[in-house]
């Protein structure tokens, strides 16, 4: 009986040593989760029969150290969640190994060729939230976009006096109180200047004149009146001012100038907001992934375009996932269905771009376990040797 018990111990310890060896071998594998061999006693009624291996448990919830790589598509999850990937046969896997790149069709893929899943964008760059799919990058240059709106918020100095020189002349600073110039773009991406001249005409009343590239705009034909109440709040114009002018060789520019939020207080003229749409054409210079998973393409003109958003998955019972290869898992009935969400929200961790999650193997702990396993193996071997000697003594005495 002792022979059989010791034999079960040898088999169990051998499996433990295999697990420890695998952990040590993968101490440098990105996203790897260490395993542990679980033992259980074997009894026949009340008779001890030895030990058996109940199974392996993985430390899925224990994260590894994050290491910076500087590569834009190296991603790590700081917190809970898994990346979702889809193979060519449609099978879905979940991983913490964030080594991603692109294939010949510019889909974001893992090292094994599975496509990273997330929210794609439509033709206008709007996220298709709720429609989980393959993330694909656009490599084309960004075409020019004409300026069509200008958000302008400023304060006109209530202490200013009505100019004594008239009529208004942009070449004569004595005919206006303040001015501000904004850079705008035509449909070819060429730069133009839109200058606003503010002329006080009476208490709480100002005229605004518009000039493009030093010449009067085609619309509005004259000055636009701006009025303020006795608290300094803007009362007119009630909506955006439609400013139009021609650009040789390009479409005419139509810019809606919105003064919402502007004021007239007894302080210096200051502009707090001057946001114009439009930009020149640009070439793609790189990618950036935000901590919420949004993927942007950066362009040489300073613009960036949304390419999609990485979506994370989580499970009610992550320990119930089926281990596919040490760094990838698949859904089972015990794990429950995946819960998808955006990084940084709820139980989902933030994404760290240019970073990878190292293996969570603790080499010191594994080496200690290795020595313990070795001692256990030797002890069971000693039982077998002793059992053999006893049998020899027994038969020698007969």
Please classify residue 268 by burial: count the beta carbons closer than 10 Å to its beta carbon, then call 0-12 exposed, 13-18 middle and 19+ buried.
exposed
Predicted pLDDT of residue 46: 78
Percent over 90 (pLDDT), the chain: 79
Predicted pLDDT of residue 225: 97
Residue 94: helix, strand or coil by DSSP? strand
Residue 67, phi then psi, degrees to nearest 5:
-125, 130
Predicted pLDDT of residue 10: 87
Residue 398 has pLDDT above 60, yes or no: no
**Which strand (E) or helix (H) includes residue 232?**
none
Predicted pLDDT of residue 358: 95
What's the rounded Cα separation, in Å, for the pair 226 and 20? 78
Contacts of 393 (CB under 8 A, 6+ apart): none
Residue 386: helix, strand or coil by DSSP? helix
183 within 8 A of 191, measured Cβ to Cβ = yes
The CATH class that applies to domain 149-276 reads mainly beta
Closest CA to 240 of 256, 218, 222: 256
For 111-121, what is the mean pLDDT?
95
DSSP annotation of 282: B
What's the rounded Cα separation, in Å, for the pair 252 and 246? 4
**Residue-wise pLDDT tens digits, 41-99:** 888 887 888 888 898 888 888 889 999 999 999 999 999 999 999 999 999 999 999 99
What's the rounded Cα separation, in Å, for the pair 228 and 204? 5
Predicted pLDDT of residue 95: 96
Give the count of beta carbons closer than 10 Å to the beta carbon of residue 172.
12
What's the rounded Cα separation, in Å, for the pair 257 and 253? 12
Q: Which pLDDT band holds residue 9 (cuts at 50, 70, 90)?
A: confident
Predicted pLDDT of residue 397: 60
What's the rounded Cα separation, in Å, for the pair 20 and 26? 10
Closest CA to 134 of 292, 285, 295: 295
What's the rounded Cα separation, in Å, for the pair 357 and 66? 5
Predicted pLDDT of residue 148: 97
What's the rounded Cα separation, in Å, for the pair 203 and 343? 53
What's the rounded Cα separation, in Å, for the pair 116 and 101? 10
**Residue-wise pLDDT tens digits, 235-281:** 999 999 999 999 999 999 999 999 999 999 999 999 999 999 999 99
Residue 255, phi then psi, degrees to nearest 5:
-115, 125
- Give the 3-state secondary structure of 323-348: ECCCCEEECCCCCCCCEEEECCCCCC
**Which strand (E) or helix (H) includes residue 16?**
helix 2-25
In the chain, where are the structural domains located? 2-61+360-396, 66-142+283-357, 149-276
Q: Determine which of 220-234, 289-303, 370-384 has the lowest per-residue pLDDT on average.
A: 370-384
First to last CA, the chain: 21
Residue 17, phi then psi, degrees to nearest 5:
-65, -35
**Residue-wise pLDDT tens digits, 128-162:** 998 899 999 988 899 999 999 999 999 999 999 99
């Amino acid at each position: 009986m002792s022979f059989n018990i010791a034999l079960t111990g040898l088999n169990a310890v051998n499996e433990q040593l295999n697990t420890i060896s695998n952990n040590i071998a993968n101490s440098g594998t990105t996203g790897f989760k260490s395993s542990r061999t679980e033992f259980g006693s074997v009894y026949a009624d009340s008779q001890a029969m030895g030990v058996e291996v109940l199974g392996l448990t993985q430390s899925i919830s224990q994260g590894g150290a994050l290491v910076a790589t500087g590569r834009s598509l190296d991603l790590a999850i700081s917190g809970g969640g898994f990346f979702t990937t889809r193979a060519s046969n449609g099978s879905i896997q979940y991983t913490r190994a964030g080594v991603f790149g692109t294939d010949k069709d510019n889909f974001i893929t893992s090292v094994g060729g599975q496509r990273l899943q997330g929210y794609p964008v439509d033709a206008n760059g709007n996220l298709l939230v709720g429609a989980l799919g393959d993330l694909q990058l656009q490599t084309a240059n960004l075409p020019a976009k004409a300026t069509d709106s200008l958000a302008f918020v400023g304060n006109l100095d209530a202490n200013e006096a009505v100019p004594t020189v008239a009529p208004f002349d942009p070449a004569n600073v004595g005919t206006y109180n303040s001015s501000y110039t904004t850079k705008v773009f035509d449909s070819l991406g060429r730069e133009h200047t839109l200058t606003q001249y503010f002329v006080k005409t009476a208490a709480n009343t100002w005229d605004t004149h518009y000039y493009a590239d030093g010449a009067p705009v085609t619309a509005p034909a004259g000055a636009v009146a701006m009025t303020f109440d006795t608290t300094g709040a803007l009362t007119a114009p009630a909506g955006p001012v439609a400013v139009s002018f021609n650009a040789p060789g390009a479409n005419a520019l139509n810019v809606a100038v919105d003064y919402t939020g502007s004021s007239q207080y007894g302080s210096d003229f200051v502009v707090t907001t001057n946001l114009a749409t439009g930009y020149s054409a640009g070439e793609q210079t790189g990618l950036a992934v935000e901590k919420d998973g949004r993927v942007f393409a950066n362009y040489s003109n300073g613009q960036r375009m949304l390419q999609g958003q990485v979506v994370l998955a989580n499970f009610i019972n992550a320990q119930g996932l089926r281990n596919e290869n040490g760094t990838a898992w698949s859904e089972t009935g015990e794990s429950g269905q995946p819960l998808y969400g955006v990084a940084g929200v709820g139980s989902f961790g933030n994404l760290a771009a240019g970073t990878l999650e190292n293996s969570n193997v603790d080499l010191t702990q594994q080496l200690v376990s290795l020595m313990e396993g070795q001692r256990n193996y030797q002890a069971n071997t000693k039982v077998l040797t002793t059992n053999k000697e006893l049998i020899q003594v027994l038969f020698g005495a007969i």
